[in-house]
Structure 1
Amino acid sequence: MLWLVLSWICLWMQVQNPHSIKYNGTMQGLKYIWRTEGLRGLFKGNGTNCARIVPNSAVKFFSYEQASHGILWLYRQQPGKEDAQLTPLLRLGAGACAGIIAMSATYPMDMVRGRLTVQTEKSPRQYRGIYHALSTVFKEEGPRALYRGWLPSVIGVVPYVGLNFAVYESLKDYLLQTNPFGLVEDNELSVTTRLACGAAAGTIGQTVAYPLDVIRRRMQMVGWKGASSVIVGEGRSKAPLEYTGMVDAFRKTVRYEGFGALYKGLVPNSVKVVPSIAIAFVTYEVVKDVLGVEMRISD
């Protein structure tokens, strides 16, 4: 439940109107949700998120394995590289490909999850559920609306995934080579140490890519009739902004709210994302070991 609540708070902080701010921090957000919507409000968007995360994870892992084999095959076509193995750089490329494919395949679900999460009882348009939200957006705003904000998401996936893998692998290599504080046993790092490496990777990756996530969320709200009470107003007006594209969204966000607006909700997002990334990395490697699969992230 904590993961869901933090997602809820992060989303609201990213898109809320600066002239009608409901809260500025995580604790204020928790109090506001409990006071205005009660226990039920803590689970808003949970069904959509569950429906999205299962196919997203499946597509991501499948795409990663296929991209790894494909990139390695292409790399081995070069003269003198016939016996080459996957390098960290090649794995970064495979991870980026997997992230883009998985995000694109489930993006409409992510888009409606955002709207379901931030809609209130005062919103003119009330989405009754996942299917109703998808069909309503499709009919009223067109099929392109389901992929509004897709470009900043694609651009954000590359540094996000790239830095996650690069930092994780670099930290592990450094620890294995230097063995500070006796962390290495039998030429292996403990689960706790690998979790710490994953947490560091997640912190750096999501901090660098976070502004693109804010822009993505704001672009997803454009065209929604119920967004006027939620998203950023232009100048001193409380009317929602209309963004013509990613660059325009960046420009207007910084102009009317300052550069710091690009990092709204970073703290609750970090509390949510950093441990999940760390656990994902370690779980992936441990499961591969248990199943006896030869290929691992660290190979």
Structure 2
Amino acid sequence: MAAVPEDSRRRRSLIPNFLYTSPTAAAAPSERIEMFSPAYYAACAVGGLASCGFTHAAVTPLDVVKCNMQIDPARFKSTGSTVGIVLKEQGIRGLFKGWAPTFVGYSAQGAFKYGLYEYFKKEYSDMVGPAAAGKYKTLIYLAGSASAEVIADVALCPFEAVKVRVQTQPEFARSLADGLPKIVRAQGVSGLFRGVVPLWGRQIPYTMMKFATFENIVEAMYKHVIPTRKEECSKGVQLGVSFAGGYIAGVFCAVVSHPADNLVSFFNNAAGATVADAVKKLGIWGLCTRGLPLRIVMVGTLTGAQWGIYDSSKVFFGLPTTGGGSSATAVN
């Protein structure tokens, strides 16, 4: 085996073990992209784009049902009745309304979310040093994911505004092409970002839970469930762990972020509405639970699929899958 250059050994010795797993064992026969280089973060952004854009677009029918139940609970009383009303009034195409702003918006959000998470995770680890980063790794996950999501939501917000209008107001617009300029004409560019604060309220806790829970679940699975160290597992096993860890994390995400999800739908559907208006119409219990079972299924499936796609993308680029590196991982 060829000797590893001294500067490479010195650089990797500063990386906490939980952030680095040998890519030769975990992903590909040779490392094509240097870890933590600009190319590495770009590859992570591509993986995030693919993982979020396609998965969110795929569950558009569930999102249509959920949003209508959140906006008009008096009319849309259950999942089954909501599907029936949409099919009767709009046909099968009604269940897929909003797929375009969903795909574009969540593709942009995913690229920023995953790429910047990897960046901030490394930066914050370097700031506190290897010992503290290893001891307080969950705080690193939380801080890195929160920082990334703040930026990612600014990219998502305009498309989320269009999506909610298209899905809950059939007469408003057909899709992204006519919905976006219509909002700008009526409310100005600022109208596209009107929901950014409740979006942060929904997405930041969601993403913090998503990343921190995932990382810890994956670590626990390799420690207590998988009989083989991660470095010795096949790619298929590692990707299976990524999907399972993502699905479990998604259930927690859905519960934590659901009240804010109801608010995002409410604000984007009713101009000038306030939190008090939402509470008056939905009630505290309704704000926390309206549409929650459907969202648990949707978010759990989404999150599991996203981590599976994201780590598959990493494998494609010759990079290690996310999380689960043991303390015995070599860093030479």
TM-score with structure 1 setting the length: 0.76
Alignment of 1:195-274 (within 5 A): 195-223=243-271, 242-243=272-273, 248-249=274-275, 251-262=276-287, 263-274=289-300
1:89 aligns with 2:139: yes
Query: For the Cα contact (< 8 Å) 2:219–2:323, is it kept in 1?
Result: no
Q: Which amino acid aligns with 1:13?
A: M
1:158 aligns with 2:214: no
Query: Structure 2: how far apart are the matches of 1:161 and 1:42?
Result: 26
- Return 28-37 or 281-290, whichever deviates more: 281-290
CA shift, 1:202, in A, is: 0.5
Query: Structure 2: how far apart are the matches of 1:195 and 1:166?
Result: 15
Q: Which amino acid aligns with 1:276?
A: L
Aligned with 2:173: secondary structure?
Answer: coil
1:13 aligns with 2:56: no
Query: Structure 1 regions of 5+ residues with no counterpart?
Result: 224-241
1:287 aligns with 2:330: no
Q: 1:128 to 1:197 in 2, by over 3 A?
A: closer
Query: For the Cα contact (< 8 Å) 1:164–1:198, is it kept in 2?
Result: yes
* Structure 2 partner of 1:105: 155
Query: Structure 1: how far apart are the matches of 2:157 and 2:139?
Result: 27
1:29 aligns with 2:75: no
- Determine what percentage of the aligned residue pairs are the same residue: 22
Query: Structure 1: how far apart are the matches of 2:290 and 2:260?
Result: 11
Q: Which amino acid aligns with 2:137?
A: T
TM-score with structure 2 setting the length: 0.70
CA shift, 1:13, in A, is: 0.9
Query: Structure 2: how far apart are the matches of 1:274 and 1:292?
Result: 27
Query: Structure 2 regions of 5+ residues with no counterpart?
Result: 1-56, 326-332
C-alpha distance after superposition, 1:65-92 (max 9, x if no partner): 332333233334xxxx599669342133
Query: Structure 2: how far apart are the matches of 1:69 and 1:166?
Result: 14
Query: For the Cα contact (< 8 Å) 1:138–1:146, is it kept in 2?
Result: yes
Q: Which has the higher helix share?
A: 2
Query: Structure 1: how far apart are the matches of 2:61 and 2:128?
Result: 44
* Structure 2 partner of 1:296: 322
Query: Structure 2: how far apart are the matches of 1:83 and 1:152?
Result: 33
Q: Which amino acid aligns with 2:221?
A: L
Q: Which amino acid aligns with 2:77?
A: N
C-alpha distance after superposition, 1:46-81 (max 9, x if no partner): 2222222322222223322332333233334xxxx5
CA shift, 1:119, in A, is: 1.4
Q: What do you get for the CA RMSD once the two structures are aligned?
A: 2.7
Total equivalences in the alignment: 262
Q: 1:295 to 1:193 in 2, by over 3 A?
A: closer
Aligned with 2:100: secondary structure?
Answer: helix
Query: Structure 2: how far apart are the matches of 1:269 and 1:83?
Result: 36
Q: 1:24 to 1:177 in 2, by over 3 A?
A: same
Query: Structure 1: how far apart are the matches of 2:58 and 2:202?
Result: 25
Q: Which amino acid aligns with 1:254?
A: V
* Structure 1 partner of 2:60: 4
